[in-house]
Amino acid sequence: MTETEKNIRTETPFLQVEDLYVEYESNKEIIHAVNGMSFTLEKGHTLGLVGETGAGKTTVAKSILRILPDYSATIRSGRILMQGQNLLELSEKEMQKIRGNVISMIFQDPMTALNPVLTVGKQIAETIELHEEVSEKEAEKRAKQMLEMVGIPGERYYEYPHQFSGGMKQRVVIAIALACRPDLILADEPTTALDVTIQMQVLEMMRQLRKELNTSMILITHDFGVVAEMCDEVAVVYAGQIVESGSLQQIFKNSVHPYTHGLFHSIPRLDEDTRRLYTIGGLPPSPVNLPKGCHFSPRCPYADAACRDKPIGMTEVEPGHFCRCCHIHDRKEETGNV
């Protein structure tokens, strides 16, 4: 183990993202994908990043792993500290030793995450061979053990991705991510491509493996049901900013931001006969031309001149519970949540 890896594994706190700004350039336009995002993740915990498509969730994960496209993406400012070490200051050679070993990522679509011309077992084994000094035979043995761990018979080591169902492919992707027992897993909507029955099986497996390996996780999703099953803390993301964050209990039982309320109200309830689901009016702002003040103000029913005048900072509603809204206290009595 190198000195860099040793420092990452032993220092505290575990993970901190501080004031992160990420931009893309497309057709000579600047796309403001992540705009001052900050959060902390404790060892062994799972943080859910929730929000609409295009909110910047995946960009944050790729920034942590340093796999943003060089030709179009730029991390303008901020720090990503993993147990005291700023990942943004490491060389590409140092990051190659960390990817798949200390930090792994489960990508959204298993169909494109796997190499179609390599056996699934070889794709797991090559991760082990890359990061650990083991023989080819030992790597094959451990790859078969990883397949068994995710519920796939070890003898299927020699089969190709096209011989597996969608749910089985996702299990293989998870096996690859866990092959070197990483400290942090970045799971980008890992169950979106799966049917409901397989979703529950994969989530249960991920929960058990996380518990057994004491692995931390950032779970990117738009599904509050998945968040309720998997997460300890939640951060609601809108237009590249966290608009509300706190524990699972605080966000589900005591949310205060209008956007968070809109997301919850759009979920169908089994105890109500609803003919039409609630929708949040309007569309997310263009990341090329974001509002001057609160990014949610064009869609917010409570917005006024103060909301549109200048950027809104995070306010601590209660210990550990933060919200980006200048009318929190005005709405306490109305919502009855705080």
pLDDT of 338? 42
0.85 surpassed by pTM? yes
| pLDDT computed for residue 289 by the predictor | 93
Q: Are strands 216-221 and 184-188 parallel, antiparallel or unpaired?
A: parallel
Interval 93-105: pLDDT, tens:
999 999 989 999 9
Token pair listed for 141: 């043995």
- 50-91 confidence digits (pLDDT tens): 988 889 999 999 999 999 999 999 999 999 999 889 999 999
Position 265, amino acid: H
Residues 18 and 20: their CA atoms lie apart, in Å, by 6
CA atoms within 13 A on the CB side of 127: 29
| Inter-residue contact 206 to 216 (CB < 8 Å) | no
Pairwise CA distance, residues 95 & 154, whole Å: 31
- Token representation of residue 246: 């706190």
Q: Which residue has the tokens 């990503």?
A: 80
Question: How much of the chain is helix, strand and coil, in % rounded to 5?
Answer: 40, 25, 40
- More confident: 215 or 195: 215
**Which pair of structure tokens corresponds to residue 133?**
């000094």
pLDDT at 258 over 50: yes
Whole-angstrom distance, CA of residue 41 vs CA of residue 309: 32
- Measure Cα distances from 60 to 16, 123, 139, 206, 312 in Å: 12, 26, 32, 21, 21
Q: Using the predicted structure, report yes or no on whether residue 334 has a pLDDT greater than 60.
A: no
φ/ψ region of 27 (left if φ > 0, alpha if ψ in -120 to 50, else beta) reads left
Q: What is the pLDDT of residue 12?
A: 65
Segment 221-232 shows an average pLDDT of 89
Residue with token string 């397989």: 198
Q: How far apart are CA 171 and CA 308, in angstroms?
A: 46
Q: What is the mean pLDDT of residues 15-20?
A: 96
- Collect all residues with Cβ–Cβ distance below 8 Å to 65 and sequence separation of at least 6: 99, 103, 105, 186
Q: Which residues are registered as beta bridge partners of 103?
A: 99, 184
Output 328 or 284, whichever has higher pLDDT.
284
